[in-house]
Structure 1
Amino acid sequence: MATATEALASTTAEGPTSHTQNQAQPSIYQLMALVMNDVRDVGKNGFNDHQKYKFRGVDDFIGALAQPLRDHGVFMMTEILDFQTSVRGKMNATHMRVAFHFYGPAGDKVTATTLGEASDTADKASNKAMSAALKYALMQTFMIPVDAGSLDDGDRDHPVGQASAADGYMQRLRKPAVWNNPTALLAMHSEAKADGLLQETVYAPGGEEMALGELIVARGRALKAEAAEREQRQAAEAPAVAAQVAAETGSGAVAVDPESFQPHPDGQDFANQAALASSREAVEGIRSMAASQNLHRSGVLAPDSGKPDVLEAYLERRAAELGSADGEDVVDGFVRRMRNGWKELGPTRMALAEAKEKGLLTTVIPFGNDHLMIQDVLGTRIKALEEQAALANAGANV
């Protein structure tokens, strides 16, 4: 879609030239006043089918002035004063400063200078810039009347073009909840593919021109690389954190056979709550409650390793983990915590409650070879765990 903009006209005047043959002729000033008296008004006779608005075209102004100029012996010559071209994505843009010289039979002239700017995908940018400059030179030089009320619409407040489908995707993509969320990016890629828009040209936040699908994939890869780097950093820091905790608290891991180890029920409950916590402050609150009940040295199965450990040691690691993952995506953090408690009914129910509280129930996440909403994943898992528990109880009663 080509566009054009115009600037205000400036007007200068010169006296008779050396070519004047009849100084008794009326001056250009007198003749232009007569032309202004004869010119008819110009309405908005054109209609833009794409953007649905009416406009006054340069042809309307030429048509309104052609006869009055002939009647009074005034003619016009055009002079290009300045000319520049540029490229805007796939559009060729032209900027020009144009002088329009109006001569009378006495040889004197009046000059109107305007700016014209236009863009086009092919070779019409210069033509459109010239037309834009001429339109406002004629309208402002001769003060051509316009239809009542129209000065308050399209010629002053240029209509906004209708956004394309790809533009709609870009508006959504720029939102932090999508831009920083691999799951949301994956869902958007699938949606854009279904709409046939993956090859539509868009502009990335840095200004690069690329296909919509390419941009979504590139952002997803960047997020995955950041997550992998973060996990590597946390894994590298974990031994040092555990060693420091053991040195400061004297609470090393429980050295027992995992098969015969029985975790403290209340201590395990605190560990599971910490696994689902979304902030370091929440873990610190759990630590305080565990200490107040003298459970901080109780044995638990650590949710991060699945091995016997001291509750205090696990809570320290969990707090350090959250402290080093402040920038973690909300959905990614939730999914990680959900997986930590996947094997137990209590933590899984807590995960469902957390998803409801944070408005994540309808968020789509990868699951097996498919993508499902969190509420469906957790609902199915809770039902399976409840059935397992019922079978276990039935077996115990036989």
Structure 2
Amino acid sequence: MTEERKLVKKLANVMKEVKYIEKKGFNNFNKYKYATESDVAERVREVLAEQSVMMLPDVVEHTTREHQNRKGNVEYIATVKVKFTFIDGETGEEISIHSAGEGQDAGDKAVYKAITGAQKYALMKAFMIPTGDDPENDPNEQNQQNGDKSKPNQPQKASDKQLNFVKKLIKDNVTEKFNESQLHDLLKKRIKTENNMENWTPKEASAAIKILNKDEEKQGA
């Protein structure tokens, strides 16, 4: 068996062992459960250690911008692209993957939150760990379809899951011709809205996801 196949087999063993991560975290502001980074990292780390495999992070891209939150306070949003390398302690073989992350903080922790998020989703996507979340599934839209009209005059905003998925797709669609900001402006025109992304409705976010997925398919064709 080649060294490459040994590491691949070890990573496949991690997939066999880590089949599901329970959502123990709870967002009090938006009222939803989520799988925490510590839950994911702790479970995967144990199995990686058993396989004599370690994972090292390397931040390859990093940007920070100011953002005014709902209370009018200035916070900082950091976006990172991180290269994660799996290293076999027995053979020295390496396999690398990339993951994007975004973090928001009023102080100096936005970058660290972004790296933490990138690691969480790198592990979840690399090992295909399900949590029951679907970024294209919007509960607000389902409630409207089911006749929930408790707040008919108050427009609902897209969920964080939807908006984070839109941001990821925008990054994936960046070309030499269009950067992230230009793609954001083009999306506003295509879904016919004057609102910036953070104020999109669930319907607008869903429309943006469909457009970006189609554009990504065209680029890959």
TM-score range, shorter chain: 0.5 to 0.7
The one-letter code of the counterpart of 2:20 is: D
Residues 144 and 130 from structure 1, CA distance in 2 versus in 1: closer, same or farther, beyond 3 angstroms? same
- Quick one: structure 1 residues 24 and 54, their matched pair in 2 at CA, closer, same or farther if it must change by over 3 Å? closer
Question: Shift of residue 24 of structure 1?
Answer: 6.9
* Cα RMSD for the two superposed structures: 2.9
Matched, 1:38 2:17: yes
Partners of 1:156 and 1:77 lie apart in 2 by: 31
Distance apart, 1:151 and its partner CA: 2.6
> 1:123 is paired with a residue of what secondary structure?
coil
Is 1:53 the counterpart of 2:12 in the alignment?
no
Letter of the 2:76 counterpart = N
The verdict on how the C-alpha distance between 1:112 and 1:38 changes in structure 2, with shifts beyond 3 A counting, is same
Structure 1 residues not aligned, in runs of 5+: 1-22, 161-170, 172-204, 208-398
Q: Distance in 1 between matches of 2:43 and 2:33?
A: 18
- Cα distance in structure 1, aligned partners of 2:58 and 2:136: 27
1:94 aligns with 2:94: no
Answering whether residue 113 of structure 2 is matched by residue 131 of structure 1, we say no
Which secondary structure does the structure 2 equivalent of 1:43 belong to?
coil
SS at 2:22's partner residue? coil
Query: Retained in 2: the 8 A contact 1:84–1:94?
Result: yes
Aligned pair 1:103/2:87, yes or no? Answer: yes
The alpha-carbon deviation at position 156 of structure 1 amounts to 4.6
Shift of 1:116: 0.9
Q: Equivalent residue for 1:117?
A: 102
CA displacement, residues 147-188 of structure 1 (integer Å, 9 cap, x when unaligned): xxx234xx555788xxxxxxxxxx9xxxxxxxxxxxxxxxxx
Task: For 1:68, give the aligned amino acid.
Answer: V
Which SS does the other structure have where 1:137 is aligned?
helix
Distance 2:139 2:59 in 1: 29
Q: Deviations over 1:318-374 (max 9, x none)?
A: xxxxxxxxxxxxxxxxxxxxxxxxxxxxxxxxxxxxxxxxxxxxxxxxxxxxxxxxx
**Change beyond 3 A, Cα 1:158–1:125:** farther
Mind listing any 5+ residue stretches in structure 2 that lack a counterpart? 69-73, 141-154, 156-193, 197-221
Partners of 1:96 and 1:129 within 8 A in 2: yes
Structure 2 contact 15–127 (Cα < 8 Å) conserved: yes
Structure 1 match to 2:160? none
Select 1:64's aligned residue among 26, 39, 43. 43
Q: How far does residue 25 in structure 1 lie from its aligned partner after superposition?
A: 9.4
- The DSSP-based 3-state class of the residue aligned with 2:58 is strand
Deviation at 1:112, TM superposition (A): 1.4
Aligned positions, number = 138
Q: What is the one-letter code of the residue matched to 2:82? A: V
Contact 2:4 / 2:93 at 8 angstroms: preserved in 1?
no
The answer (yes or no) to whether the contact 1:41–1:64 under 8 Å persists in 2 is no
Q: Deviations over 1:27-58 (max 9, x none)?
A: 21111111111124102111111221111111
Q: What does 1:357-376 correspond to in 2, within 5 Å?
A: none
Question: Equivalents in 1 of 2:138, 2:37: separation in Å?
Answer: 16
Which amino acid is 1:84 matched to? T
TM-score w.r.t. structure 1 length?
0.32
Q: TM-score, normalised by structure 2?
A: 0.55
Which structure would you say has the larger Rg?
1
Alignment of 1:77 with 2:49, yes or no, is: no
* Secondary structure of the corresponding residue to residue 78 of structure 1: strand
What is the distance in 1 between the residues matched to 2:110 and 2:4? 40
Q: In structure 2, how many angstroms separate the alpha carbons of the residues matched to 1:54 and 1:46?
A: 6
Q: Report percent identity of matched pairs.
A: 29
- Cα distance in 2, alignment partners of residues 24 and 129 from structure 1: 33
> CA separation in 1, counterparts of 2:61 and 2:4?
33
Map residues 1-398 of structure 1 onto 2, 5 A cutoff: 27-89=6-68, 90-104=74-88, 105-146=90-131, 150-152=132-134, 155-157=135-137
Q: Show structure 1 runs of 4+ deviating over 3 A.
A: 23-26, 155-160
